[in-house]
Amino acid sequence: MPARPPGPKPRFLIGNIPLASRDPLALFMRWAREYGDIFYYRAGWIHVYFLNRPDLIDLVLVRNHANLRKDHVVQNSRWFFGNGLLTSEGEEWKRQRRFAQPAFYRERITSYGNLMTNYAEQMLSSWQDGATVDMHQEMMNLTLRIVVRALFGVEPAKSEEISAALNTMMRNTSGLRLLLPPVARRLPLPGMGDVRRAVKQLNDTVAAIINVRRVGWDQHSEDLLSMLTSARDEDGAHLSASEIRDQVLTFLLAGHETAALAVSWTWYLLSQNREAERKLHQELDNVLGGRAASVEDLRLLVYTDRVLKESMRLYPPAWSLAREVANEFHVEGYRIPAGANVVMSQWILQHDARYFKDPDKFDPERWDTEACHRLPRFAYFPFGGGPRQCIGAGFANMEAVLLLATIASQFEMRLVKDHPIVPVPSFTLRPRYGILMTLNRRKATVGLPHAS
């Protein structure tokens, strides 16, 4: 067996970057079909081994996780995220996880349910029947307001500033750009000046909010910032001011981006699949009768949950994961050297016909089939997996279901004619041109008493 898996022939110095920069989603899909479950390519000087089978992903994320660390893209993103849960490694990551974990216990997460739907209802009250809106931007604004309130315990007066800064950063920091060494940040590359200003604005805004909260801190407050401020480890140590800032930045991004994208892509898919939309509305009418959803309703919103799950299969907000190899190891007879990157893609696995019949079809009812009940682990993994699975997965999933239910019970959306839908794989899977939709107010036909 050759020492290296099959793959596209790299060019001198630049490797396969020119190809990968054009349409990475289609390209990686084609390479996976052409070269199989393990293939090799080169991103500049970085050797990349792409794994495309659930048991191989389990090997990396679970069985051999201690031998792998976050990749160059995540390491370079410390520039604006700091050294929080997303970017820290080893014992430092374990320490931070212990401090943050209580904030994401189930009972804590469910306490935010009313907060989520209250903000959704505020947004709905401003919508006009027949208006055209960018549903992606609407969902981003909504989930950011929610996470700012949950983080800081204050009304999100700074939400627009934070949103603008985050959008600038996400729009101008593709994975390829983050492969560049830190010195490249000072180069006059397109958009980098905007990113530098956005990073400063975000840091200044977050620092100001933290300082205000520190002055008026209430040890009995239940927001995440108060929990991080008061948390102590077994030795009585607490998080430093810079550590709290880094966690806040991490939660700001991850705490609103995932849910916003999940629901945004769902509106698009529902507009293209009227029968699924009809079944969703039928369930919402029966369970909610036009009112906002609550945490107590979640057990009854079975089809709603399947709709969201299917949406996250087709358009996973986190479209890929990557790890850097610390010590050489072997996969299927191939040597994976230290310093190489291992990449796994939710986009590819979740569109794989080996695990999902008609993989490109939006079919929420597939999640009630025997085939899906027997899926191998990591055939579907929108929140990653292993010890470093997203700490906020429960928060994001509950938020997405509650927002989807509350909004869809009152409105249906129609994609504006000829509006292009182009998914762009950056840190997350975003719609390049937004998702322009027309709002149509609907009226619930049936209602049940509030769930108890």
Predicted local distance difference test score (pLDDT) of residue 452: 41
Mean pLDDT, rounded, for 374-398 = 92
pTM of the entire structure? 0.91
* Residue 199 pLDDT exceeds 90: no
Mean pLDDT, rounded, for 15-23 = 72
* Residue 446 pLDDT exceeds 60: no
Q: Is the dihedral of CA 114, 119, 125, 128 positive or negative?
A: negative
* Residue 22 pLDDT exceeds 80: no
* Residue 133 pLDDT exceeds 50: yes
Among candidates 352, 351, 324, 320, which has minimal Cα distance to 60?
324
Among candidates 434, 435, 430, which has minimal Cα distance to 25?
430
- For the chain, helix (H) and strand (E) counts, in that order, are 18, 12
Predicted local distance difference test score (pLDDT) of residue 338: 95
Mean pLDDT, rounded, for 197-225 = 74
21 vs 213: CA distance, rounded Å: 43
Mean pLDDT, rounded, for 329-353 = 95
Burial 121-157 (b: 16+ CB within 10 A, else e): eebbeeeeeeeebbbbbbbbbbbbbbbbbbbbbeebe
Q: Are the beta carbons of 184 and 195 closer than 8 angstroms?
A: no
395 vs 299: CA distance, rounded Å: 16
Among candidates 81, 10, 19, which has minimal Cα distance to 46?
10
Residue 402 burial (CB < 10 Å; 0-12/13-18/19+)?
Answer: buried
Looking at per-residue confidence, does 97 or 185 come out higher?
A: 97
* Residue 130 pLDDT exceeds 90: yes
Looking at per-residue confidence, does 402 or 428 come out higher?
A: 402
Residue with tokens 């991103």: 43
294: phi then psi, degrees, rounded to nearest 5: -135, 165
129 vs 113: CA distance, rounded Å: 26
Q: Are the beta carbons of 127 and 439 closer than 8 angstroms?
A: yes
Q: Is 154 left (phi over 0), alpha (psi -120 to 50) or beta?
A: beta
* Residue 77 pLDDT exceeds 90: no
Mean pLDDT, rounded, for 348-359 = 97
Mean pLDDT, rounded, for 27-32 = 94
Residue with tokens 């994975």: 175
pLDDT band at residue 398 using 50, 70 and 90 as cut-offs = very high
pLDDT band at residue 72 using 50, 70 and 90 as cut-offs = low
Where along the chain do its domains lie? 17-441
Please give the structure tokens belonging to residue 201: 């604005």
Mean pLDDT, rounded, for 407-420 = 97
Least confident of 13-17, 22-26, 284-288: 13-17
Q: In what order do the strands lie in the sheet with 132-134?
A: 132-134, 436-441, 411-415
Least confident of 39-48, 66-75, 319-328: 66-75
Which segments of 213-267 are extended strands (E)? none
* Residue 267 pLDDT exceeds 90: yes
Q: Are the beta carbons of 239 and 231 closer than 8 angstroms?
A: yes
Burial 315-341 (b: 16+ CB within 10 A, else e): bbbbbbbbbbbeeebebeebebeeebb
pLDDT tens digits, one per residue of 168-195: 777 766 555 555 666 666 667 677 778 7
Predicted local distance difference test score (pLDDT) of residue 156: 64
DSSP state of 451: P
Q: Are the beta carbons of 34 and 67 closer than 8 angstroms?
A: no
Looking at per-residue confidence, does 154 or 149 come out higher?
A: 149
Predicted local distance difference test score (pLDDT) of residue 216: 61
Mean pLDDT, rounded, for 80-95 = 81
- CA atoms in the 13 A half-sphere facing the CB of 291: 14
273 vs 424: CA distance, rounded Å: 22
Close Cβ partners of 369 (under 8 Å, ≥ 6 residues apart): none
* Residue 408 pLDDT exceeds 80: yes
> Which amino acid, residue 285?
D
Predicted local distance difference test score (pLDDT) of residue 449: 47
Looking at per-residue confidence, does 215 or 266 come out higher?
A: 266
Q: Are the beta carbons of 413 and 160 closer than 8 angstroms?
A: no
pLDDT band at residue 417 using 50, 70 and 90 as cut-offs = very high
257 vs 86: CA distance, rounded Å: 14
DSSP state of 297: G
Q: Kindly report the CATH class assigned to 17-441.
A: mainly alpha
Residue 158 burial (CB < 10 Å; 0-12/13-18/19+)?
Answer: middle
Burial 241-255 (b: 16+ CB within 10 A, else e): eebbbbbbbbbbbbb
Least confident of 27-41, 234-248, 374-388: 234-248
Looking at per-residue confidence, does 413 or 204 come out higher?
A: 413
State what percent of residues in the chain have pLDDT above 90.
54
pLDDT band at residue 44 using 50, 70 and 90 as cut-offs = confident
pLDDT band at residue 218 using 50, 70 and 90 as cut-offs = low
Looking at per-residue confidence, does 307 or 238 come out higher?
A: 307
Residues present in the chain in total: 452
Q: Are the beta carbons of 117 and 294 closer than 8 angstroms?
A: yes
> Which amino acid, residue 13?
L
